[in-house]
Amino acid sequence: MATQSVTAPQTFDWAHVPKRPGFARRMGRLARQHPAGVFGLVILLLFVFLGLFGKQIAPYPADELSVGLPLQGPSSAHPFGLNQNGQDVFSRVISGAHVSFVICFWAVFLGAGMGSFLGILGGYFGRWLDYLIQRSGEAFAAFPSLVLFLMLRTAFGPTLKTIIVAIAIGALFGGNRVLRGQTIIERNQVYVESARAVGCSEWRIFIRHVVPNVLPLVVVIMSGTAGAAILAESALAFLGLGPADVSWGRDMSGNNLSIARTGYWHVVVFPGIAISLVVLGANLLGDSLRDIWDPRLRK
């Protein structure tokens, strides 16, 4: 009996519970799981930076004529070459980010942000509010975005505001349906019922319980809107309907396009790559965010 080994009761060492990894650790892990999303984020951050400061850091003013030999191909002094007016294409691409950024910003926050809020509001409170929002969404869905824009342009002229309003309205009713659906699902969850049972007011349930649970989806919608808005803006600029002289879409149209047909590809190809890259970034980031947050995909 003396040799009986006493197995001490396994006490759980509460002091050494593995702590939740810090914020930086968690972000690092997430980044490793979604390299494409990180790539997208980097491109978008670069886009935002160029949108804000592009004009200041461009090597030449975007509209300065004859900084070199017109139509010269890419060289070390002019990495993207020069267009037929002798303007530096590289500087124009960097400065052109500004218009795209401004329109994208308003589309995302005014359009997607407000649309999401309306969708959540309608989905949660239902009744006439929901009915009103959904029916006006259907009426606007009967306007393809370009038709809506051309109609607004006929009325209000080619101002930046017209474009922002047209693109933001498209985003408004795009985001709101998705969030309405998700909110209706959340509304019927047990936690909402419990909150009601403890006596929370409807507004408190809405703000403190429902909204935080659908918020991730709003961010997903926003990144999708960013890509769509840049595509829409560049297409309008390409058609000559844009508000700015220095814009990626504008630089690919008109005389530049005619000159590109005769072999000077660099005039139109670099702005096109810039648009594609930024939209690609927004799409990749959106996909990754959806993978991370979309409750329907989380198994």
Partner 1 sequence: MRQYALRRLAYMPLIVVVVSLITFFTLRLPFATDPVTLYVNQNTTQEQEDAIRADLGLDKPVLEQFVVWVGDLVRGDLGHTFRSNQPVWPEIQRRWPVNLEILVFSVFFSTVLGVTFGVITAVKQNSAADYGFRVFAVFGQSIPEFFLLILLIVLPSLWWNYSPPVGGHVSIFEDPVKNLRLYLPPTLLLGVGGAAALMRLTRSTLLEVFRQDYIRTARAKGLSGNKVILQHGLRNALIPIVTLTGAHVTALFFGSLILEQIFSINGLGQFFLVSAMTADFPVVQFLVFYTAVVVVTMNLLIDLSYAVIDPRVKYA
Q: How many residues interact with partner 1 (rule CB under 8 A)?
A: 43
Evaluate whether 155 touches 97 at the Cβ level (below 8 Å).
no
Task: State the nearest-atom distance from the C-beta of 53 to partner 1, in Å.
Answer: 24
Amino acid letter, 8: A
Q: Which one, 245 or 287, has the nearer CB to partner 1?
A: 287
Q: Which one, 221 or 275, has the nearer CB to partner 1?
A: 275
- In angstroms, the CA 139 to CA 193 distance is 34
Q: Which of 114, 143, 160, 292 binds partner 1 (CB under 8 A)?
A: 143
227 lies in the binding site for partner 1 (CB under 8 A): yes
Sequential DSSP letters for 126-170: -HHHHHHHHHHHHHHHTS-HHHHHHHHHHHH-S-HHHHHHHHHHH
Considering only residues 246 to 265 of the shown chain, the ones binding partner 1 according to CB under 8 A are: 249, 252-253, 257, 260-261, 263, 265
Q: Which of 67, 129, 235, 292 binds partner 1 (CB under 8 A)?
A: 235
295 lies in the binding site for partner 1 (CB under 8 A): no
Tokens matching residue 61: 């003013």
Evaluate whether 274 touches 92 at the Cβ level (below 8 Å).
no
Q: Which one, 87 or 234, has the nearer CB to partner 1?
A: 234
Task: State the nearest-atom distance from the C-beta of 14 to partner 1, in Å.
Answer: 41
Q: Which of 55, 272, 291, 293 binds partner 1 (CB under 8 A)?
A: 272
User: What Cα–Cα distance (Å) separates residue 204 from each residue in 120, 121, 125, 189, 201?
Assistant: 14, 13, 13, 16, 5
Binding-residue pattern over the window 149 to 188 for partner 1, x denoting contact by CB under 8 A = -xxxxxxxx-------------------------------
52 lies in the binding site for partner 1 (CB under 8 A): no
Give the helix, strand, coil percentages of the chain, each rounded to 5: 70, 0, 30
Q: Which one, 18 or 263, has the nearer CB to partner 1?
A: 263
Sequential DSSP letters for 73-137: ---SSSTT-B-TT--BHHHHHHHHHHHHHHHHHHIIIIIIIHHHHHHHHHHHH-HHHHHHHHHHH
Residues that bind partner 1 (CB under 8 A): 138-139, 141-147, 150-157, 227, 231, 234-235, 238-239, 241, 249, 252-253, 257, 260-261, 263, 265, 268-269, 272, 275-277, 279-280, 283-284, 287
